[in-house]
Amino acid sequence: MEEKEYRIGDYEFETLREYRLAQEDLKKIKYITDELDIYDPEVAIQLYSMMRDKRIRFKSEIGKSFFWCISDIVAEHSENMLAEKQAKEEQEAERRLPFHIILSYIAGVVCIVIAIACCVYFGVSEYKDHLAAKKLQELQDKIEQNSLVWNDTEKETETENDEEATETEETEKPLMILEEYAALHEQNPEMIGWITIPDTDIDYPVMQSSVEESDFYLRHDFNKQDDKNGIPFIDARNQYMPRDTNIIIYGHNLKSGLMFGPLKNYLDEEYLEEHRTVQFDTIYEKGTYEIIAVCLAKVEYQDEEVFRYYNFINAASESSFQEYLYNIEQLSVYDTPIDAVYGDELLTLSTCNDYTEDGRMFLVAKRIR
């Protein structure tokens, strides 16, 4: 059977998902170019800033090409401004004493050096973010491919499993890694699962390192290479099979939109209502969660007797669980009851927030049974 081609102009796409993302980017680009004069330097600079800060997001090669087009316009405008400035300085220098000419020359050189340094800095930063995103996309593609294979084989083996169920009913089944995560877990055994929030950019593997290096993945990627973006990881104290009452996942809040950057959108109640579901799978089982609280807190000093949300791992009793819920309500952004009862399995997503010094933002979700 001949494979279907996904093509837009000169761009080819391997999957339907990539093709649809490209279509979405085309709509955004058309809207922008219809409404704005992108060749106006001020407009181009504003667009460049919004795309850099991920206020306007593109998810395909077509979108990236548009970004580089805007970058070229901004760069050309900067060069023209620099040339005009140098021309003025040269004209003024002709009327000055030699000492002033030397000072003007030095100032010009300094300006050029600073401009080059800024361009290099932003270029390197952009390139690193691009590489990080590309590596994550490769992991996401592996999971998507493995999921397709897993769904097909799962249907074929359903009947066999039903027949074997009665024979193994009285024996304890060994833990089996889900097929879709097996290859990645073999690549890095510290991968313990995967987190996805539908209709957001959060779609990442979840790691866990040793207690001795509890924040290792704060500054390393999936392959344990140095990476300022890090990758989401669960608290080193957590046990995910058998499961603790509350699994805590940490991730950076990045302006680029990577990792847990999108969590700040939950400070908008309308956004919360439209994105309440979180999919968190361990390597052994799948799990769907509903967000029940959006909270703001801070890292407290060790000698202070205060509630620390990041220390709630297991509920020793029903009363300790209720005490936890009470404290969460005090930190909640929204004045709504928290729908949870003793025995619920909780998931906490934690990230930085600069609303105060050492500020933190965290979401609490409960597993849907």
First to last CA, the chain: 41
Strands (E), 129-217: 191-196, 203-207
Domain ranges of the chain: 6-135, 176-367
Residue 6's pLDDT is 78
The pTM assigned to this predicted structure is 0.63
**Under CATH, which number does the domain 176-367 receive?**
2.40.260.10
Residue 320's pLDDT is 96
Q: Tell me the pLDDT tens digit for each residue of 272-298.
A: 999 999 999 999 999 999 999 999 998
Residue 313's pLDDT is 97
190 Cβ partners below 8 Å, 6+ apart?
Answer: 207, 208, 209
Tokens 């890095």 belong to residue? 188
Cα gap 16→38, rounded to integer Å: 30
Nearest partner of 324 among 305, 336, 308, 301, judged by Cα: 308
Check: CB of residue 150 under 8 Å from CB of residue 179.
yes
Cα gap 326→342, rounded to integer Å: 13
Residue 146's pLDDT is 66
Residue 56's pLDDT is 87
For 259, the 3-state DSSP assignment is: strand
Residue 67's pLDDT is 85
Cβ count within 10 A of residue 26 = 18
Q: Tell me the pLDDT tens digit for each residue of 99-118.
A: 555 666 676 666 676 766 55
Q: Which residues of the chain have pLDDT under 70?
A: 1-4, 79, 81-86, 89-105, 107-111, 113, 115-134, 142, 144-173, 303
Residue 111's pLDDT is 65
235 Cβ partners below 8 Å, 6+ apart?
Answer: 214, 247, 248, 250, 310, 313
The DSSP output letter for 296 is E
Cα gap 219→264, rounded to integer Å: 21
Residue 262's pLDDT is 94
Residue 1's pLDDT is 44
CA distances from 66 to 26, 72, 132, 186, 222 (A): 10, 10, 20, 38, 29
